[in-house]
Amino acid sequence: MAEVTYERATCFYPGAEKPAVDGLDLAVKDGEFVVMVGPSGCGKTTALRMLAGLEEIDDGSILIDGNDMVGVPSRDRDIAMVFQNYALYPSKTVGENMGFALKMHGVDKEERARRVREAAKLLDLEDFLDRKPRNLSGGQRQRVAMGRAIVREPKVFCMDEPLSNLDAQLRVQTRTQIAELQRRLKITTVYVTHDQVEAMTMGDRVAVMRSGHLQQFASPTELYDHPANVFVAGFIGSPAMNRLDGTLTPDGISVGGVTVRPPDAIMHAAQGHSQLVVGIRPEHLSIGEGHLDVQVDLVEDLGSDFYVYGHRADDTGATVIVRAGREHPRPGEAIKIKIDTARLHLFDAVTGLRIGE
């Protein structure tokens, strides 16, 4: 049973001016699966390593189960970590790898063997217990890394991009397995990835990070439907949300000559902000009589969906992405795009923060 709380946690890389993680406040509930996601260098891995005890907590604190981890070495934190490159012990067999932590904690041989066998059964590794890591495939090694963590029944799982070295198909497979496993074991998990699809599908809640700062911490649906700022809006969702420059006018919002009228509540909240960013997802645009003139550049065929990429015919030349069906325009065509004003998002262009709920 463990809650994990980051309180103003900060970490500086040696010799750096700006912190890698700056004043992070995050509260993970017991048994929750939290994903930290963001672009490279956003601090997500550092934040995870601070929790594991592999990076110093320079300011603030991190609490596990109410206990402050400042000054506590990794080995005393009861955390199991799955590394990006698996970090399996090369001179030991799979069984010895998985039993290592138990050995270090003085668990006797029989108990160790029993727990290793249990975990091996869960992960389909029973036939490999006597093999050395160098004789395993990538996917098998990944499972051993997971097994090593599971065997320990720790307070917290820390996972550092464990799927990034797998091929695409295996990644999708393993993703569901990990999520299932976590649901069954109910162990608090902090998971780091740069892949927002992984984040959205696996996490109970997702923490979006950028340049060391937390952008938003909410459920995947909340992030998708109500991004807290422009960055989150553009980061979550693939293809990315369209973001257009806009200005406030008495009649509505002008996006490069065309005026759109959002719902009254949003219009009301937008008063006082002169420079705006209007966000609209590709699936909330439609082709037909509408607001924008767009020249089609290319069409992505994903089998189930088609995404039309084009640029605005006016002098802004901004890229626009529309989701279309089988009957879609061809590259080079000029089309008109209609904005579903009920589904648009509004952000202040200066602060980037969301306007309205």
Site for another protein in 107-146 (CB under 8 A): 133-134, 136, 141, 144
- Specify whether the CB–CB gap between 22 and 34 falls below 8 A: no
Q: What is the rounded CA–CA span in Å between residue 23 and residue 221?
A: 25
Question: Angle between the 138-150 and 168-185 helix axes, to the nearest 10 degrees?
Answer: 10
User: Nearest Cα to 210, choosing from 354, 355, 352?
Assistant: 352
Least distance CB 78 / another protein (angstroms): 8
Q: Return the residue of 6, 33, 100, 307 that touches another protein, per CB under 8 A.
A: 100
Assess 238 for contact with another protein (CB under 8 A).
no
- Specify whether the CB–CB gap between 243 and 277 falls below 8 A: yes
- Please identify, using beta-carbon distances, which residue of 180 and 257 lies nearer to another protein: 257
Assess 350 for contact with another protein (CB under 8 A).
yes
In sequence order, the 6+-apart residues with CB closer than 8 A to the CB of 3 are 27, 28, 29, 30, 63, 64, 65, 66, 188
Stretch that binds another protein, among 172-180, 222-230, 247-255, 326-334 (CB under 8 A): 222-230
Assess 70 for contact with another protein (CB under 8 A).
yes
Q: Return the residue of 77, 115, 323, 345 that touches another protein, per CB under 8 A.
A: 77
Assess 217 for contact with another protein (CB under 8 A).
yes
Assess 53 for contact with another protein (CB under 8 A).
yes
- Please identify, using beta-carbon distances, which residue of 46 and 229 lies nearer to another protein: 229
Near another protein in 285-314, by CB under 8 A: none
Assess 235 for contact with another protein (CB under 8 A).
no
- Joined together, the tokens standing for residue 96 give 């010895």
Tokens 């605005």 sit on residue: 312
Near another protein in 147-166, by CB under 8 A: 148, 152, 158
Q: Return the residue of 90, 250, 272, 288 that touches another protein, per CB under 8 A.
A: 90
DSSP class of 110? H
Query: In this structure, how many other beta carbons lie within 10 angstroms of the beta carbon of residue 124?
Result: 12
Tokens 């780091």 sit on residue: 192
Assess 215 for contact with another protein (CB under 8 A).
yes
- Specify whether the CB–CB gap between 241 and 213 falls below 8 A: no
Assess 205 for contact with another protein (CB under 8 A).
no
